[in-house]
Structure 1
Amino acid sequence: MDKANLIYNACMRGQGGPAFPAVPDAGGDGGWRSYIKRDQGDSVASMSQAYFEVTGTGDTLVPCSSADSLWGDGGQMRGSAVSGALARAVEQVVPPGPGGVARRPVRWRVDLFRPAAMAPCTAEATIVRAGRQVCLIDAVLRQDGREVARAGALFLTETTAPQGKVFSPRLDFVPPPPGMRPGSSEERLYYSEGVGWTPLPDPHQNERRKQVWLAPVRLVAAEEPSPFQLTAMATDVVNMVANWGEFGVEFINADASLVVSRLPAPGEGIGLAAEHRFAEDGIATGTAVVFDRAGAFGAVTVSAVASPGGAIDPRLIGVRR
């Protein structure tokens, strides 16, 4: 058995890796798919809650149980983990700007064209162009030599802001109370119109406009996630925000595209608020505003198709505390 498989088994079954206590569930698998241990003293989720472990030099990413999704009855990696893995690869190759000036990620596009299995994967990034103001980078995620997802990033070189006044929309999103904690191992808070913010998703199985607040989670064990990684992971949640209705999430997204003018503060949460949604003949598109406690700083769009396997129920995600 190779090192990747050894880490995979340790991460998923709790043998020699982060311990997942036996919490029986309806699936009879000892609860390893949904139990996530959390370090209450850490503002970023503990190592056992990371989406991935790494092998060797970090070229191979091995998914842990927290990377599993409800799509396909489990065994399919969640889009947040895929997006984060691609963003990590992109960050590793971003060249410095002219004179050392910082390059800022302003666009992030992810195409999810094959289901990513809960199996070892690699992410590779390639610089398309690195000019004085514009830097374009592409990335692909592979499993068993086959591409399962791709991403494209646009970085712009920071400069002096113009002084002229320009239209600015009124966005009155109110983040959740600072003291509110997630009520399950899924590090999220939930909102719908007429209900308000809650620690659990249960009151929001309705047709009203949604918001979700994501606490920082670790992408790779023993690595602090960067603000760009956290933003990339949040990007995929647009599908839940835009397509969560009275019967759950009945659409599975094929992509997610994000534009931002800045990144969130390190260690801070990120919110997504549904803004628009259009649906016809089993195809849905939606947009959400991206915000933090300092205000709105971007928008994300999603393209989705009615799930042939039926809806997923956000109320089933995570283990209750």
Structure 2
Amino acid sequence: MHGAAGGSDGALAPTDLARSSWSREQLHGVAVSGALARTAERTLAALGRDDLRPARHTVDLFRPARFEPCTLTAEVVRESARICLVDVALSQHGERVARASVLFLKATESTDASVWEPTERPSPPPEDVAPPTDAPAVPFLRSDAPWSQDFRQHQNAGRKTSWNAAVPVVAGERLTPFQAAAATADGASLVLNWGSAGVQHINTDVTLALARLPRGTEVGLAALDRVEVDGIAVGTAAVFDREGPVGEVVVTSLVNARRSISFDREEQRDPNRA
């Protein structure tokens, strides 16, 4: 995962790119979410259902995933002409540590009715700042400071946007647009919970809702809303690519201030990326 070595029976062994910023002995959610999405996508392919596309990917991160090999198993909960629901579990030493529920839907024609949509949408950094690429790269960030890859500039209370070129979930394997979106979605916690004192919340889940797949593996996240009461935070981020909106992410987080992650002391780049 995140450059993992593949194994038999759905087994993956983590590489250093999968280490968490919270602890070197844990896996970060980006790698876990990407691995779960990969298993769900492969399960759908095994059914021969190339007429469906991912519309919702919900991940529960209910135990710390250790920096150790993982086993992934999938169950098809429901399959019909227009829908397929797949549940995926990630286990270590026989114990489940994370799970995903992935919904695939059949695309049809849209109606011609007029329905409200926002008039303003987030956009990626200019191409002269972040040239288009299909190779992994350090994320670009924008906050109260302009687009840059220097994380020190963005440790502030401003609304944040990130632009991400995702790392392959498995080394030597082509990254799909769905895997890129699902892995990047966990990065919404950084976009939503990073403030003037660093990242002081850890997310317990991720829900990615997609109206379409990204065109490629570059994915943007832009903070839309955030509510916090008594240490529980709920945030929503827009998901977009170079052509426009793709969907949204909702993240629930718990305060974790005693182990906060700060980026203001040195030029620290996102450890979840290349």
User: Considering the TM-score relative to the shorter chain, is it more than 0.5?
Assistant: yes
Shift of 1:306: 0.7
Shift of 1:165: 2.4
Equivalent of residue 189 in structure 1, options 132, 140, 146: 140
Are residues 305 and 186 of structure 1, via their aligned partners in 2, closer, same or farther at CA, if it must alter by over 3 Å?
A: farther
Give the percent of matched residue pairs that are identical in Structure 1 and Structure 2.
Answer: 40
Q: Counterpart of 1:179 in structure 2: which amino acid?
A: D
Are residues 156 and 318 of structure 1, via their aligned partners in 2, closer, same or farther at CA, if it must alter by over 3 Å?
A: closer
Determine the structure 2 residue equivalent to 1:213.
163
Q: Is the 8 A contact 2:150 2:269 kept in 1?
A: no
- Residue by residue over 1:114-166, the C-alpha shift from the partner in whole angstroms, topping out at 9 and shown as x without a partner, is 00011000111110000111211100000111100000011111112222222
Q: Is the 8 A contact 2:33 2:182 kept in 1?
A: yes
Query: Is 1:272 equivalent to 2:221 in the alignment?
Result: yes
Equivalent of residue 168 in structure 1, options 82, 105, 117: 117
Q: Is the 8 A contact 1:70 1:317 kept in 2?
A: no
Unaligned runs of 5+ in 2: none
Instruction: Say which structure, 1 or 2, has more relative contact order (CA 8 Å, 6+ apart).
Output: 2
Equivalent of residue 80 in structure 1, options 8, 26, 30: 30
Secondary structure of the 2:26 match is coil
Q: Is the 8 A contact 2:156 2:197 kept in 1?
A: yes
CA distance in 2, matches of 1:210, 1:83: 21
Query: Is 1:226 equivalent to 2:173 in the alignment?
Result: no
CA distance in 2, matches of 1:80, 1:235: 7
- Residue by residue over 1:164-196, the C-alpha shift from the partner in whole angstroms, topping out at 9 and shown as x without a partner, is 2222112331211223359xx862111103x22
Determine the structure 2 residue equivalent to 1:241.
191
Aligned pairs for 1:1-321 within 5 A: 50-55=2-7, 57=8, 59-72=10-23, 74-94=24-44, 95-97=47-49, 102-181=51-130, 187-193=138-144, 195-266=145-216, 268-307=217-256, 309-314=258-263, 316-318=268-270
Q: Counterpart of 1:243 in structure 2: which amino acid?
A: N
Shift of 1:310: 2.1
Q: Mean Cα displacement is larger for which, 141-150 or 301-310?
A: 301-310
Unaligned runs of 5+ in 1: 1-48
CA distance in 1, matches of 2:141, 2:124: 10
Q: Is the 8 A contact 1:186 1:317 kept in 2?
A: no
Q: Which structure shows the bigger proportion of residues in strand conformation? A: 2
Q: Is the 8 A contact 2:76 2:86 kept in 1?
A: yes
Q: Counterpart of 2:181 in structure 1: which amino acid?
A: T
CA distance in 1, matches of 2:258, 2:80: 45
Secondary structure of the 1:222 match is coil
Q: Counterpart of 1:221 in structure 2: which amino acid?
A: A
CA distance in 2, matches of 1:282, 1:161: 41
Q: How many residues align?
A: 263
CA distance in 1, matches of 2:73, 2:138: 28
CA distance in 2, matches of 1:135, 1:174: 32
Tell me which structure has the larger Cα radius of gyration: 1
Q: Is the 8 A contact 1:89 1:124 kept in 2?
A: yes
Q: What TM-score do you get using the length of structure 1 for normalisation?
A: 0.77
Q: Is the 8 A contact 2:56 2:209 kept in 1?
A: yes
Q: What TM-score do you get using the length of structure 2 for normalisation?
A: 0.90
RMSD: 2.0
List, as ranges, runs of 4+ consecutive aligned residues in structure 1 with deviation greater than 2 Å.
179-182, 313-319
